[in-house]
A and B are shown apart, each in its own frame.
Chain A
Amino acid sequence: MSLLASFDWGTIWDNRGLLSEGLWRTIQVSAIGIVGATVIGIVLGAVRANRIPVLTQLAATYVEVIRNTPILVQIYLLFYGLPLLSPHLTFTGFTTAWLAVTIWGGAFNTENFRAGFEAVPYRYREAGLALGFSSLATFFRVTLPLGGRIALPSTTNTYVSVLKNTSLMTAIGFQELTTTSRSISASNFRDVEMLTTVGVAYLVLAWSLSGGMRLLERRLSFEDAG
């Protein structure tokens, strides 16, 4: 007798349509979150690293507020709180989902990129300026390529967390992977099968994401280039 005699593989197959839709939504939200967090991280990271007056203080406030409060509260505030401020700020589950992970990831990435940009030796920037590059050109041609590489390992952690945090959208009923599996097992009581499937899916996603980022790191590293 097999160990998992009554593990119902069939129920996973029967619900493949719903599950893959949920998976797709998880991937979409994560992708938007990762891209958005990168943009916010680079812009605000540059603001922080260059200490641009007023903006740097605002960026620091944003980072500290997001990092020191649970993302679940942020999700509730976006979804249930903001509509009370103005009816125009009523968001769908999907919008709340990508907005929440983007804002959250952006705060962590601001710190990652700030550290990366600050690790670029000042003399490199001086060299860029001395060669006649404008300060913006110096940023894009010197600070970003060098600092971005330094920041890469820590941004990987942030991206994996963004992916994992999409599962919290189950709190607002957005039908991503976790919510979908809960809805299915609410009707067929196959909690073990559904949650195992979802767990394996998250592990595969998280491991491939961090594996891919490590590959990118190796491709971009200067040591291996020679």
Chain B
Amino acid sequence: MRRPRDWNRVISAVMLLAVLAVGIPWLWHEYQTRPPWWDPVQHQIIHVGLKETLRMAAISALGASVIGLVLGTLFTIRFRPSRILIRVYIEIWRGLPIVVTIFLIYFAFPRLDETIPHLPNINSLAAFQAATIGLILWGSAQVAEATRGAVQSIRKEQHEAAAALGFGWVGRQVYVILPQAARRLLPPLVGLLVNIIQNTTIAGLIGVGDVLEVANRSTDRLLFLTGSSNALAIYTYVMAVFFAISFPLTRLAAYLEKRFAA
């Protein structure tokens, strides 16, 4: 049976045009008549906060991908002790809320030398480092889990054929298995990048000056100086900033998933 014709494309287009027709002039007007405090706040969010957010996201995404790929590949070796260790690593860092992980690293880890005797003195970490390590622990657990699935989806014959050609274990993984697994891995890796960018906001809770924390401080300052925090406008702007970064990436992930699905 032929399905009824879908008018939704037309409706989507009309709705989008309507929103743009009303929204763009309204935004333009709002921007033209913006209050004097807006420009410095926007400047802080973009030039200070966003820079910090992207720096942390880049380091975390890189670290998480490398550690996760290695752990996920190692997991496929049939050696009980290493499998158990990696499984425990994955379950713990995936199970803990990221805030708690970051708090553990920032507040509890430097105090371990008070709890465990004979431990050398531990220096406290900078907030940026602590938050980045927390994101890497969480992200690498996610990547390891995805890698395990992707590597195990490659058929056994591929391993055997590569072995027959004289590749060692490392060569087999690097030249034969991972390139094939990469097709399956790419969409979740892009998804992870989006999640990491969004989760950098948690770093603000220990004082890292990311986009959200900078916006936060602006609302505090405005409340003190002008009597109104203007939180609605500022947080909506922060949402728009994150949306502008994340939306293209989630579309990319969806496209890659469809492209490599075959």
Q: A: which residues have CB within 8 A of B?
A: 1, 3-7, 51, 53-54, 56-57, 64-65, 67-74, 76-77, 80-82, 84-85, 122, 126, 160, 164-168, 170-171, 178, 182, 185, 189, 191-193, 195-196, 198-199, 202-203, 206-207
Cβ distance A53 to chain B, nearest Cβ, rounded Å = 5
**Contact between A207 and B108, CB atoms less than 8 A apart:** no
**Consensus secondary structure, chain A interface:** helix
**Contact between A70 and B232, CB atoms less than 8 A apart:** no
Assuming the contacts A6-B115, A51-B6, asked whether A207 and B91 have C-beta atoms less than 8 A apart, the reply is yes
A184 to B21, CA, bound (A): 53
Cβ distance B141 to chain A, nearest Cβ, rounded Å = 12
Q: Which of A54, A74, A192 has the most CB of B within 10 A?
A: A192
Cβ distance B15 to chain A, nearest Cβ, rounded Å = 5
Assuming the contacts A57-B11, A77-B235, A170-B205, asked whether A202 and B229 have C-beta atoms less than 8 A apart, the reply is no
Q: B: which residues have CB within 8 A of A?
A: 1, 3, 6-8, 11-12, 15, 91-92, 95-100, 103-104, 107-108, 111-112, 114-117, 194, 198-199, 201-202, 204-205, 212, 216, 219, 228-232, 235-236, 238-239, 242-243, 246-247, 250
In the bound complex, residues from chain B placing their C-beta under 8 Å from that of A4 are: 115-116
Cβ distance B222 to chain A, nearest Cβ, rounded Å = 11
Assuming the contacts A64-B247, A192-B112, asked whether A72 and B100 have C-beta atoms less than 8 A apart, the reply is no
In the bound complex, residues from chain B placing their C-beta under 8 Å from that of A170 are: 99, 205
Minimum-distance CB pairs A-B, first 4: A68-B246, A167-B97, A80-B231, A70-B198
In the bound complex, residues from chain B placing their C-beta under 8 Å from that of A53 are: 7-8, 11
**Contact between A182 and B103, CB atoms less than 8 A apart:** yes
A3 to B198, CA, bound (A): 38
